[in-house]
Chains A and B, each alone.
Chain A
Amino acid sequence: MAGTQNIGETSDNPVAINVVAMVDVIFCLCIFFMCSFHFKQLEGKIESHLPKDRGLDSTPASSIVKDEIRVIMRWDPGSNATLRKVKGHEYAGSDEELIAAICGMRDNYEQEGKTDWPLTIDAEGDVPWEEVIHVMDLCKQNRIERIEFGAPEREIERQAPPA
């Protein structure tokens, strides 16, 4: 009698379909996607710009004395650690010391009304990349936005003078 039967009872579906095979297939697919699934790590970026106007064309770069904060990073195999200092200062023993030296220079520039200065990271090849990123991170946290990477100047191919 209508209204007294449960949903899914055999009387509703006179043609019985064997769903076991389908369940098996779905199980297999589920296992495949579960095994291949990985949660994406939350990624971000730290912006930096390379200098546009130095060592790019055939004219030699003029030796300008730049206003900059240069952070020097060196790998010390003895202590198995990265040594960091701001040019003109002593090596910093901690993040706080390093950032104090950077902020001190920044404050001096701001007092002099200088706004167009970069922070240049001058690291040796042996320094781990995570240490470089750590310094960039500290700078960004302290409102230093213009970060550049230092590199040795390329030798400029000079054209032979016309005969």
Chain B
Amino acid sequence: MAKKLDVQEDITPNLIPMIDIMFLLLLFFMLGADMGQRELEEVRLPLARSVKEDKESKERTSDRLTINIYHVYEKETPCPAYKKGEICREEKHWRIAIKGVDYTNSEELLKRLQLEAQDYRADPNNPKSPCERPVQVRADRQAPYSEVQKAIAMCARAMIYKIECGAARPPDEANAKG
């Protein structure tokens, strides 16, 4: 009959490799976290095959101004049409924002754009000279064109003529190009 071993081993797991891995994970998530100023609102960008890679968005010193046109968040105002992926034509559900500040009012948007354009005019003393500063209109794909038109019209009145339209590459192509 086999003898029952009654040896009690003191098992102490070595925690050091686990701590190392957790530190690495922590570093990865900390560096990947977006702690910057909220310049970009959450929008579902329209898809386009011909989009150019946006290198300026990675540069902190970029002069470009971004106008976000986004639907109010679900928590604030539930919208069944938007949730289903349909076009929401409720004007009150759409917001225009620059750097996290709401400029849905056209006159306020115009004032802000004029202020932003001031230092980039061909002739700084002439408020009617064209502004060389690029502006990106980053609108939700489900937004009606009238909302985008409003922003573009205000850009034109502020003499800003370099307009870029934000779009995303379709997922299959984005993956193929890495």
A interface vs B, CB < 8 Å?
8, 19-20, 22-23, 26-27, 29-30, 33-34, 36-38, 40-52, 55-57, 73, 123-134, 136-137, 140-141, 149, 151, 154
Given contacts A29-B26, A126-B146, contact A43 B57 (CB under 8 A): yes
Let me know if B141 and A57 touch, CB within 8 A: no
Looking at chain A's contact residues, the main secondary structure is: mixed
Q: With A and B bound together, what is the CA distance between A27 and B48 in angstroms? A: 40
Residues in A whose Cβ lies below 8 Å from that of B19:
19, 22-23, 26
Let me know if A27 and B22 touch, CB within 8 A: yes
Let me know if B143 and A33 touch, CB within 8 A: no
- Which of A30, A73, A124, A130 contacts B29 (CB under 8 A)? A30
Interface-lining segment among B1-9, B97-105, B108-116, B153-161: B153-161
Let me know if B25 and A30 touch, CB within 8 A: yes
Let me know if B51 and A8 touch, CB within 8 A: no
Question: Any chain A CB within 8 A of the CB of B61?
Answer: no
Most chain A beta carbons < 10 A, residue from B33, B45, B50 = B50
Given contacts A33-B33, A51-B161, A151-B156, contact A56 B15 (CB under 8 A): no
Let me know if B141 and A133 touch, CB within 8 A: yes
B174 nearest in chain A by CB position:
A42
- Min C-beta distance of B104 to chain A, whole Å: 16
Most chain A beta carbons < 10 A, residue from B130, B139, B149, B160 = B149
Question: Any chain A CB within 8 A of the CB of B11?
Answer: no
- Min C-beta distance of B121 to chain A, whole Å: 12
Residues in B whose Cβ lies below 8 Å from that of A29:
26
Let me know if A37 and B145 touch, CB within 8 A: no
Let me know if A26 and B29 touch, CB within 8 A: no
Q: With A and B bound together, what is the CA distance between A133 and B169 in angstroms? A: 12
Residues in A whose Cβ lies below 8 Å from that of B130:
52
Residues in B whose Cβ lies below 8 Å from that of A52:
130, 161
Question: Any chain A CB within 8 A of the CB of B152?
Answer: yes
Let me know if B143 and A30 touch, CB within 8 A: no
Q: Please name 13 pairs of A and B residues whose Cβ atoms are closer than 8 Å in the assembled complex, sorted by A.
A: A19-B15, A19-B19, A42-B169, A46-B165, A126-B145, A129-B140, A129-B148, A133-B48, A134-B46, A136-B48, A137-B51, A141-B50, A149-B163
